[in-house]
Amino acid sequence: DVVMTQSPLSLPVTLGQPASISCRSSQSLVHSDGNTYLSWFQQRPGQSPRRLIYKVSNRESGVPDRFSGSGSGTDFTLKISRVEAEDVGVYYCMQGKHWPQWTFGQGTKVEIK
């Protein structure tokens, strides 16, 4: 199975300051169609996960532009340019390239200092 490793697992941030989460996969996520299937999800307390970013850097409709994704191959990053109170939650990366099962990172808990 492809292993997804996130860091840090806990991220206390001051309001208005930037935040960065790293995700590393044990195998390349580049598909034969040329795309890289790495997604980021936000899970607010008590809610379902919500996809924020797909194919490394594409923001979902309605996602604030303070969220950005980058990376290639096996190393990826989610950045929040200025953390707001509504960004509190757990963030997961997910690989969607290797069948027979998708795998998620362990999750990074973002909280306000």
Partner 1 sequence: QVQLVQSGAELKKPGASVKVSCKASGYRFSNFGISWMRQAPGQGLEWLGWISGYNDNTIHAPKLQGRLTVTTDTSTSTVFMELRSLTYDDTGVYYCARDGIAVTSPGLADYWGQGTLVTVSS
- For partner 1, the binding residues (CB under 8 A) are 31, 33, 35, 37, 39, 41, 48-51, 54, 60, 92, 94-97, 99-107
Q: How far is the CB of 112 from partner 1 (least distance, A)?
A: 20
The nearer residue to partner 1, 13 or 29, going by C-beta atoms, is: 29
Pair type for strands 108-112 and 10-13: parallel
- Which residues is 68 bridged to in the sheet? 79
Q: Which two tokens stand for residue 43?
A: 């899970």
The nearer residue to partner 1, 81 or 96, going by C-beta atoms, is: 96
Residue type at 23 in one-letter notation: C
Q: What is the greatest pairwise CA distance in the chain?
A: 43
The nearer residue to partner 1, 59 or 81, going by C-beta atoms, is: 59
Task: Find where tokens 């924020």 sit.
Answer: 52
The nearer residue to partner 1, 81 or 102, going by C-beta atoms, is: 102
Q: How far is the CB of 87 from partner 1 (least distance, A)?
A: 19
CA 6 from centroid of its chain's CA atoms: 9
d(CA 93, CA 29): 12
